[in-house]
Structure 1
Amino acid sequence: MSAKTITARVLTAEAFAPFGDVIEPDGSPDKIINQGMCGRFHDLACLDFGSGRAGISLFDAKARTLPHTVDMVERHPEGSQAFMPVDGVPMLVVVAEDEAGRPVNLKAFASQPGQSINLHRGTWHGVLAPLGQPGRFVVVDRIGDGDNLEEFWFPAPFVVDAIEG
């Protein structure tokens, strides 16, 4: 089977909403704290864990380039998962809708400087893919007992060939 191509769109909160949250400052801070020296953009993502607790990890990911092959997606049924680039490296975010336990209708997004994401609990997604250069990412996700990973391997891969715009 030949690969199916998809084109990544620029990441926006509206387009990404069915899959998760875009974490980025928007407008003025909600609060000014620390004697007026810090603006707080409050509660930008909905963390959701079925059991266990929230943990903070640091991922060190190798660079990816376009075209980017997507032969597998995964999901985490017990918790949301947030990715925040430490180095400001953009990332390619591949997500899919769920249909009877299988990923369908893949979509790809390219993050912009200052953007992070939080994937909703149970959202099918591709692997961490920093674009153009390696990247370190703070990851907030579920820490706990039990299996929190499902993988789906496609019979024919998808290829993200370009970014719109």
Structure 2
Amino acid sequence: MKHPLKVEPLTADSFAPFGEVIGPADREPDFEGRSGTQLWGLDFEVDGRLQLGYIRVPYQRLSFSMMEQHDGVTQGFIPARGPAALVAVAPPTEPGRTPRPPDVRAFLLDGSRGYILKRRTWHSLDRFPLYPPYGDWVILTGWETTQDLLASGDRLGAKLTRAVDFEQEYGIVFEFDMAHVS
């Protein structure tokens, strides 16, 4: 069964249950240099080593059934090159609990801002570029999380990552509904 997801703009308020938007904040900067350079700090955490990477996501169908969450890191994604993209998220849960389909939300990533996910926030495995051929992203993640995923062979056997396949569990495939994007 298809489950449409209304696509919302990525704003600090709308994204707050899931993490932080990377960009100028609606508050005073945490630091301002003599030249006027401003810095807003962000809440990024990792258990272990930070891994900074560059990922390329090919254009694909705007639908998915898999979501995952991570224990040891608050992953961050910063657009590097390519078209606007979409991402789906659901609120963090404790291990052993999965999100309900009505809790899944979709956001438009217009290329001007990135985002940081809270620990255990459920998210689609990809950011979905709106146009071919691909979108490039800088990722901040945990080295241990990546190694755990590589060692498991799939997300279902990982220790630091949990995954759910909504098609397998509930017969649902999520589709991004672009009709009402503002």
TM-score bucket (shorter structure): 0.7 to 0.9
Greater CA deviation, 123-132 or 140-149? Answer: 140-149
Q: Are 1:159 and 2:168 counterparts?
A: no
The answer to whether 1:87 aligns with 2:85 is no
* Secondary structure at the counterpart of residue 45 of structure 2: coil
1:79–1:148 Cα contact (<8 Å) kept:
no
Partner of residue 56 from structure 2, selected from 55, 60, 66: 60
Hey, what's the Cα distance between the residues in 2 that align with 1:20 and 1:98? Answer: 10
Q: 1:42 aligns with which of 22, 40, 43?
A: 40
Cα displacement string for residues 63-116 of structure 1 (whole angstroms, at most 9, x for unaligned residues)? 246xx2121101111111000011163221200135661112110010223110
Identity, % of aligned pairs?
25
- Can you list the C-alpha shifts for 1:43-63, whole angstroms capped at 9, x where unaligned? 1x21122x2121101101112
Give, in angstroms, the shift of residue 26 of structure 1.
4.0
**Tell me, which stretches of 5 or more residues in structure 1 are unaligned?**
none
What residue is the counterpart of 1:142 in the other structure?
142
Structure 2: gaps spanning 5 or more residues: 149-158
Correspondence for 1:107: 105
Using the alignment, how far apart are the partners of 2:118 and 2:82 within structure 1?
22
Q: 1:64 to 1:41 in 2, by over 3 A?
A: farther
Q: Tell me the amino acid that sits aligned with residue 106 of structure 2.
A: A
Counterpart-to-counterpart distance in 2, 1:23 and 1:41: 11
* Alignment size in residue pairs: 157
DSSP 3-state at the match of 2:14: helix
Alignment pair present for 1:71 and 2:72: no
TM-score for the superposition, normalised by structure 2: 0.76
Q: Which moved more, 1:135-144 or 1:23-32?
A: 23-32
Higher relative helix content = 2
d(CA) in 1 for partners of 2:79, 2:173: 27
- Structure having the larger proportion of residues in strand: 1
RMSD: 2.2
Say whether the 8 Å CA contact 2:25–2:40 is kept in structure 1: no
Cα-to-partner distance string for 1:20-52 (whole Å, 9 max, x where unaligned): 10001247864136xx3x723231x21122x21
SS in 2 for 1:15: helix
